[in-house]
A = this chain, B = another copy of it.
Amino acid sequence: MKERVTFEEYVKIASNSATESGNCPVSGLLLMLQGKWKNQIIYAMSLNDTIRFGKLKKEVPGITNTMLTNTLRELEADGLIHREQFNEIPPHVEYSLTEKGRNLFPIFYEMLKWGLRYAT
């Protein structure tokens, strides 16, 4: 696939990518990014090769244990992050972005450019 396309080309490609159920690859990704904390967690994780639960909680101000746990589980189920547990005393867990997760960055970069352009 080309690096850059016109709007008309995009539409053509997108229409050919729809499945019978009416879902398109874009919808699936948007679903993965839905939720109040997804973006902030992914961003915090992009700043660290690996990051622990406690540090993540500090870097995402206002999040509760419950929401951090839930959101991490969703991100893991979607294959965007990796969870590695160390059974030591005290136990700890390291989270990191997968390749799939890191490859979201061109998308975030386009979103950032758009956001800066149209920021109110």
Residues of A at under 8 Å CB distance from B?
A: 1, 4-5, 7, 10-11, 13-15, 17, 22, 24-30, 33-34, 38-40, 43, 46-47, 61-62, 79, 100, 102-119
A104 to B106 CA separation, bound complex (whole angstroms): 14
Residues of B within 8 A of A103 (CB): 114, 117-118
Complex copy number for this chain: 2
Nearest Cβ on chain B to A35's Cβ, whole angstroms: 9
Which of B14, B43, B106 sits near A24, CB closer than 8 Å?
B43
15 pairs from A and B in contact (CB 8 Å cutoff): A1-B113, A10-B109, A14-B108, A24-B39, A24-B43, A24-B115, A26-B112, A26-B115, A28-B115, A28-B119, A30-B33, A30-B34, A103-B118, A106-B113, A110-B110
